[in-house]
A and B are shown apart, each in its own frame.
Chain A
Amino acid sequence: QQQVKQSPQSLIVQKGGISIINCAYENTAFDYFPWYQQFPGKGPALLIAIRPDVSEKKEGRFTISFNKSAKQFSLHIMDSQPGDSATYFCAAPSGETSGSRLTFGEGTQLTVNP
């Protein structure tokens, strides 16, 4: 069964700093790795996702780096802002058939101090 290990559990960064969250997965039949951002009282919102035909994807201040051989991927938030304070989840597809079955990491609570 797919497991996704996410670290760190919590992260405190100063405004303008770089936030880095790491994830490792075991196996997947599908190459699709999304990151979700969740604010208190809200559902997770898709932040950025990567398909490993590339090793890096950048959208604004958010970058995913992917290392297929190591089965690891990470989220970098450049110029972190207080508004980025939220819980971040990585996810990987699980199961052997197609479908919307994602296994999520445990989450990282990011706090960006002003």
Chain B
Amino acid sequence: KAGVTQTPRYLIKTRGQQVTLSCSPISGHRSVSWYQQTPGQGLQFLFEYFSETQRNKGNFPGRFSGRQFSNSRSEMNVSTLELGDSALYLCASSFVGVGNTIYFGEGSWLTVV
């Protein structure tokens, strides 16, 4: 069974640009969540989607947005990039949600210059 797949793995963007990251969950998983990982802040929850609806949202500015498609694949978008957005962005999927095993992808490394 394929794991959580994230693309692209690495990318470099310039301040002010926007970026879209993609995530394909494990087959059959309907919950997709996104996390930001930085050395200073650790792993922080961005948002979670279930059946194409945002079910939970973390404390990030509105520049961070996401969506989920009918096939459970998800994308997250960051607009007007700032240097502080440089991070590893992790997608995780689970069958239902908390209480069910949550699996992470390898992440997308974003560098903003």
**A, B co-complexed:** yes
The residues of A with any CB-CB pair to B shorter than 8 Å are: 30-32, 34, 36, 42-46, 49, 51, 89, 93-95, 97-107
Residues in chain B near residue A32, CB distance under 8 A = 98-99
Residue in B closest to A94 when the chains form the complex, CB atoms? B45
Known: A97-B56, A99-B56, A100-B94. A89 touches B43 (CB 8 A): yes
B55 to chain A, nearest CB (A): 5
B12 to chain A, nearest CB (A): 17
Residues in chain B near residue A44, CB distance under 8 A = 43, 90, 104
1/0 contact string of B1-36 vs chain A (CB within 8 Å): 000100000000000000000000000000111000
1/0 contact string of B78-101 vs chain A (CB within 8 Å): 000000000000101010111101
Known: A36-B104, A97-B55. A43 touches B90 (CB 8 A): yes
Residues in chain B near residue A42, CB distance under 8 A = 106
Residues in chain B near residue A102, CB distance under 8 A = 45, 98, 102
Residues in chain A near residue B45, CB distance under 8 A = 94, 101-103
Residue in B closest to A32 when the chains form the complex, CB atoms? B99
Residue in B closest to A2 when the chains form the complex, CB atoms? B45
Give the contacting residue for A43; candidates B44, B56, B106; CB below 8 A: B106
- A45→B102 CA distance, assembly (Å): 9
A-B residue pairs in contact (CB < 8 Å), sample of 10: A34-B102, A43-B104, A43-B106, A49-B101, A51-B99, A98-B97, A100-B56, A100-B92, A102-B102, A107-B42
Tell whether, in the assembled complex, residue B104 and residue A100 are in contact, meaning their CB atoms are under 8 Å apart: no
- A34→B45 CA distance, assembly (Å): 15
Residues in chain A near residue B55, CB distance under 8 A = 97-99
**B48 interfacial by beta-carbon distance below 8 Å:** yes
B76 to chain A, nearest CB (A): 14
A37 to chain B, nearest CB (A): 11
- A45→B33 CA distance, assembly (Å): 15
